[in-house]
């Protein structure tokens, strides 16, 4: 699961775009968008399909060639996300920097100039050992 920390992040920021999925992915997968197609990997977009009711932010699967909604997380720099352990690989602690890896998940790593990264503000209980993250962007050098 992955969700914005505040409702204002959904109401006040124009972060969403509709694209097609190039393969089957779990909601909350990070990746890139090119020519209207989402591909999982080290990128600044995240699948944020809407469920209904209790499934609003759950980890359901989107299928290949389906129209999906993705968020450009760079537009939320300085804001926070709550992320479940399904979307984080490896161990992490408060203060760690998480980056998007080649599989479209978050992992501890070093920020790269011009890319979005995430600072672990708190380790939280969010469908297991999850994280409250602040979105940041390393300035281009």
Give the chain's domain count: 1
Residue 50 dihedral angles phi and psi, to the nearest 5°:
-95, 130
Phi/psi region, residue 102 (left: phi>0; alpha: psi -120 to 50; beta: rest), is: alpha
Q: Is 110 exposed, middle or buried (0-12, 13-18, 19+ CB in 10 A)?
A: exposed
Whole domain around residue 73: which residue ranges? Answer: 7-137
- Examine residue 1 and state whether it is found in any structural domain, yes or no: no
Q: Give me the CATH number covering residue 34.
A: 2.40.300
Mean pLDDT of the chain: 92
Q: Are 41 and 32 in contact (CB under 8 A)?
A: yes
pLDDT tens readout for residues 73-124: 999 999 999 999 999 999 999 999 999 999 999 999 999 888 899 999 999 9
Establish if 64 belongs to a structural domain: yes
């Amino acid at each position: 699961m992955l969700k914005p920390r505040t409702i204002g992040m959904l109401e006040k920021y124009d972060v969403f775009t509709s694209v097609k999925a190039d393969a089957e992915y779990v909601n909350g997968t990070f990746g890139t968008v090119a020519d209207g197609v989402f591909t999982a990997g080290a990128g600044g977009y995240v699948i944020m399909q809407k469920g209904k009711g209790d499934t609003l932010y759950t980890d359901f699967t989107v299928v290949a060639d389906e129209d999906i909604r993705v968020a450009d997380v760079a537009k939320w720099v300085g804001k926070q996300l709550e992320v479940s352990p399904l979307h984080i690989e490896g161990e992490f602690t408060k203060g760690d920097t998480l980056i998007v890896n080649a599989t479209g998940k978050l992992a501890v790593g070093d920020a790269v100039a011009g890319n979005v990264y995430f600072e672990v503000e708190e380790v939280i209980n969010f469908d297991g050992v999850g994280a409250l993250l602040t979105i940041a962007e390393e300035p281009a050098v």
